[in-house]
Amino acid sequence: MGELFDISNTSSFNADKLVDGDDYDYVTRTSNNQGVLRTTGFINKDNINEAGVWSLGLLRMDFFYRKKRWYAGQFVRKIVPKIELTPKVVPFFTAVLNRQKPILLSVLVRHIDDTFRNLNIKLPVKDGKIDFDFMESFIAELEAERVAELEAERVAELSAYLKISGLDNYELSQQEIKALEKLKTISWNKYKIGKLFDKIKTKKLPYKAKKLPTSPSGKNILPCLTSSFKNQGLNYYAPIDGATILKNVITIPQNSDVYRAYYQSKDFTVLSDAYAIDWIYDDCKLTRNQYLFMVMCINKVTNLSIYSYKNKLGGWNVVKDKYILLPKTNGKIDLDFMNDFISAIIKLAIQDVVIYTDEKVELTKQVIDSRKDTNADILNQPLIYKDELEHDTLMVAEESVHNKKVNT
């Protein structure tokens, strides 16, 4: 190993000297996050480690390639290549280095440097020289296979979702086409929000948002509404017991930087700094699409840039007196138009996704088929290993080469 790499100490310092910034990585002996505890701004010149080397954490003996300049914590070594390496062969050597973990873990820390230099490894050679071309081809082939697999998985998941959701059919019906055309000529009328919706009374919950989990856990399985605009305001989970469970209503924050209304189609409860409103006419229940249309109209008067923490919109007492524009036909709110229009918009929005999915499915099939022929050509070439090098190459290569019956 000493013929190919040098191992040296790093000038370390404690994390309390770090400053704000992301120009440099602060690398420690941990194995988490590729050894990076956090990023930092410039601290000093003397402690900077160059890019294009590997860090070695002496806790788990993990090698990580450093693409950017970095600072080091305690118990971190630097592995510097003595030969010129292209970015395409770096993953190959990273795997080779990490195959030495069992040996390095078996010796005392003070013996690490000498042990590393005296390690013997196996590398592919051609005409008496290290075969970098094979390394590049091999890594490219593995990466292409993995990319194709991931792409196929994502496409399959998307296709399944579209089918389950009923969105795989994006052909517009005659009613939906008429709704799009009608948008140009339909009449609009002003309606006071408080004459259409009423605020829902909910039980006050004895929880603070910061003390609740941000994902379902134990009894905390009911999404809680707050003033946040992220995830439609549902970012915490509370127990169902004692909560007012709501569904198919509109929610609006009342103490926020963004006053965006949302349609909530699934069970939730109100926690703080927000409220829910519901359609007041029991003889005419709104559909999902009609609720979505209403939300769009409400946001025209609530989700405005003039409102913020310093210039609050106000609660329901303010919002209920605001007017929104709604389509009107024969003297009544045209709920049928609203339903068909939103249905058309959803189909148009999903149309490109469906077409993209179909194209990707076909392209993925072609890529996988072509890889079979390409891989056979690359990996069936004879491969010779350097006599004086004894350890295995990368973990994935060990099985892949064997399975593909490469001559060694």
- Identify which of 348, 313, 315, 341 has the alpha carbon closest to the alpha carbon of residue 326: 341
Which pLDDT belongs to residue 296? 95
pLDDT band at 143 (very low <50, low <70, confident <90, very high): confident
Q: Residues 378-403: pLDDT tens digits?
A: 444 443 333 333 333 333 333 343 44
Q: Residues 335-349: pLDDT tens digits?
A: 999 999 999 998 888
Which pLDDT belongs to residue 150? 73
Mean pLDDT, residues 124-146 taken together: 89
Assigned token pair, 394: 């990368």
pLDDT surpasses 50 at 356:
yes
Residue 20 to residue 39: CA distance in whole angstroms: 8
Using the 8-state DSSP alphabet, how is residue 205 labeled?
Answer: P
Parse the chain into domains and list their residue ranges. 1-92, 187-333
Which pLDDT belongs to residue 368? 53
Strand partners, 9: 77
Pairing of the two strands 5-9 and 62-66: unpaired
pLDDT band at 170 (very low <50, low <70, confident <90, very high): confident
Pairing of the two strands 24-27 and 70-72: parallel
pLDDT surpasses 50 at 265:
yes
Which pLDDT belongs to residue 376? 43
Mean pLDDT, residues 274-290 taken together: 94
Lowest average pLDDT, out of 165-179, 206-220, 244-258, 371-385, goes to: 371-385
Q: In percent, how much of the chain has pLDDT > 70?
A: 86
Burial class (CB in 10 A: 0-12, 13-18, 19+), 144: middle
Using the 8-state DSSP alphabet, how is residue 233 labeled?
Answer: G
Report which of residues 35 and 350 the model is more confident about.
Answer: 35
Which pLDDT belongs to residue 370? 58
pLDDT band at 310 (very low <50, low <70, confident <90, very high): confident
Q: Report the mean per-residue pLDDT for the chain.
A: 86
Which pLDDT belongs to residue 364? 59
pLDDT surpasses 70 at 247:
yes
CATH 3.90.220.20 fits 1-92, yes or no: yes
User: 1-92 with 187-333: one CATH topology?
Assistant: yes
Please report how many Cα atoms fall inside a 13 Å half-sphere around the Cα of residue 148, on the Cβ side.
17
Answer whether 277's CB lies under 8 Å from 197's CB.
Answer: yes
Which pLDDT belongs to residue 14? 87
pLDDT band at 308 (very low <50, low <70, confident <90, very high): confident
pTM for this entry: 0.54
Mean pLDDT, residues 269-285 taken together: 94
Answer whether 55's CB lies under 8 Å from 77's CB.
Answer: yes
Q: Residues 193-233: pLDDT tens digits?
A: 999 999 999 999 999 998 999 999 999 999 999 998 889 99
Q: How far apart are the first and last CA of the chain?
A: 21
Angle subtended at Cα 186 by Cα 185 and Cα 188, rounded to the nearest 5 degrees: 130
Which pLDDT belongs to residue 369? 58
Answer whether 12's CB lies under 8 Å from 76's CB.
Answer: yes
Mean pLDDT, residues 26-48 taken together: 93
Residue 327 to residue 333: CA distance in whole angstroms: 6
**Would you state the CATH architecture of domain 187-333?**
Alpha-Beta Complex (3.90)
Mean pLDDT, residues 168-178 taken together: 86
Q: In percent, how much of the chain has pLDDT > 90?
A: 66
Mean pLDDT, residues 297-326 taken together: 93
